Amino acid sequence: MAKVPVKIVSWEEIVEWSKGLAERIRGDGFQPDVVIAVSRGGFVPARLICDFLDVTNLLSIQSQHWVEAARMAEKAILRFPYRVDLSGMRAILVDDIVDTGDTLQLARDFVVREWRPSELKVAALQWISSVAKIRPDYYYLEVRDWTWFQYPWTRLEDTMQFIVRIFREDERARGRSLSEDEIAWLFREFYGVDPRQLGLYWGLALKRLVEKGILRLEDGRYYLAKAG
């Protein structure tokens, strides 16, 4: 069983889930005047929701809780807060997933308090009901067991962080050098994902980690740099 269960999400699934979410919103009779993306994960779903609901107004607000893939910061924070006037407008706040719900709650409260729409609904592609503190007004998939959903827009970022985590946390990798095949084997065991599923992102992640000085490559073997 994987230490960190990961589900690779395809672009096709994102479009399907976004369409399904939009149909639920429309079926409820709610037609927003403006869509607000919770940055960064909500950007793509929010833009698709705009398309499926025929909404031209799109804003974003950056609320975050995850410092790296599958690892939370101590608390959610709001970055670069700004003010707009949404009085008289119906708005929908869109994120990719509701896990703890802290980031969504923080963004929702800020929008209500500072942007003042006449009505605000909250939507997400997925809701992890077993751990979430809030339930969105609309969601497409309910997830009962915690899983890290690896979305297409964070494929490289997540893969890099996953590789580094192996070097830092797995006793078979800590303080040792590993070949690419050995890293791939541990990656499959750690995350339950075959690196071949990642396509070009696998090789690019290793290359980028070396370029950034996080990993060192010597004689075909990778080392975690001390600064990493």
**pTM of the full predicted structure?**
0.87
The pLDDT of residue 226 is 65
Other CB atoms within a 10 A radius of the CB of residue 126 amount to 24
Same domain as 157, residue 134:
no
Q: pLDDT, tens digit, for every residue of 40-79?
A: 899 999 999 999 999 999 999 988 765 444 445 456 778 8
Q: pLDDT, tens digit, for every residue of 121-148?
A: 999 999 999 988 899 999 999 999 888 8
pLDDT band at 100 (very low <50, low <70, confident <90, very high): confident
Rounded alpha-carbon distances, angstroms, from residue 64 to 30, 75, 99, 103, 197: 27, 9, 12, 6, 27
Give the residue numbers spanning the domain of 164.
151-224
| CATH number of the domain bearing residue 197 | 1.10.10
Q: pLDDT, tens digit, for every residue of 152-186?
A: 999 999 999 999 999 998 888 988 999 999 999 99
User: Please, how many CA atoms are within 13 Å of residue 27, restricted to the half-sphere of its CB?
Assistant: 10
Task: Report the C-alpha dihedral over residues 50, 54, 142, 67, rounded to 10 degrees.
Answer: 10
Angle between helices 200-211 and 180-191 (to 10 degrees): 110
Same domain as 168, residue 83:
no
Same domain as 132, residue 200:
no
